[in-house]
Structure 1
């Protein structure tokens, strides 16, 4: 078994596609309208559905509001340089709601942004960040 996709219900499909594709750099893999059910499905991701997990954006045509609830947490993305990534995402219209820094009670560097519907996207530094590497390599007494 493997994870195929995660489904998110979205109010404005075009705004959500713009966020996931234009801001986060995913590709629209496929999209289909279901007129009898009055909904549209759009699948976005970084790779093909055959090889990677993707996100299914579900837009119910007659629904313009959802309650996020408190059970769902977030989607996590690994990044090489979290500080540069946050800067680039902000420049492309992304809303960073927790600036990069170590997580509480740990040392992993994380940040959070929010999609148009309020879903949280966690960014996780995959390798040592340039800032932490510079601090670690600073000579003693510097």
Structure 2
């Protein structure tokens, strides 16, 4: 078994695709419209679906906002330099909600950003060996 994807419901597909591709550097892998169901599924990621997990952005045509609830945590991305990643994300219009720095009670350098729908994405700085 392996993880295939994580699905996020998004309120504006174009805005979300722009964030995940232009700000976080993913690429669109495929997109399919389902007119009878009134939704679109777009898959984004850093590698092909056969090589690793990706994100499925589901846009329900008649819904422009979701209540994220309290059960959702975050998506985690490894970065070489969390400080530089925050600077780049901010310059590209992204929302940094926790600046890069050591995690509380630890030494791992982390940061948090939010996508346009408010989903949290943790940036974890790669540990040097």
- 2:72 corresponds to 1:75: no
Instruction: Give TM-score, length-normalised by structure 2.
Output: 0.97
- 1:1-142 pair list within 5 angstroms: 1-128=1-128
Secondary structure at the aligned position of 1:15 is classed as: helix
- Equivalent pairs, count: 128
Runs in 1 of length 4+ with deviation above 2 angstroms? Answer: none
Q: After superposition, what is the alpha-carbon deviation per residue over 1:58-111, rounded to whole angstroms, capped at 9, x for unaligned?
A: 000011121100101000000011111111111111110000011111111100
Distance 1:65 1:85 in 2: 27
- Checking the alignment, whether the CA contact within 8 Å between 2:16 and 2:115 is kept in structure 1 is yes
After superposition, the CA RMSD in angstroms is 0.7
- Checking the alignment, whether the CA contact within 8 Å between 2:108 and 2:124 is kept in structure 1 is yes
- Checking the alignment, whether the CA contact within 8 Å between 2:6 and 2:54 is kept in structure 1 is yes
Secondary structure at the aligned position of 1:89 is classed as: helix
Comparing 77-86 with 42-51, greater Cα deviation is found at 77-86
Structure number with the higher helix fraction is 1
Q: Which sections of structure 2, spanning at least 5 residues, go unmatched?
A: none
Instruction: Give TM-score, length-normalised by structure 1.
Output: 0.88
- Checking the alignment, whether the CA contact within 8 Å between 2:108 and 2:127 is kept in structure 1 is no
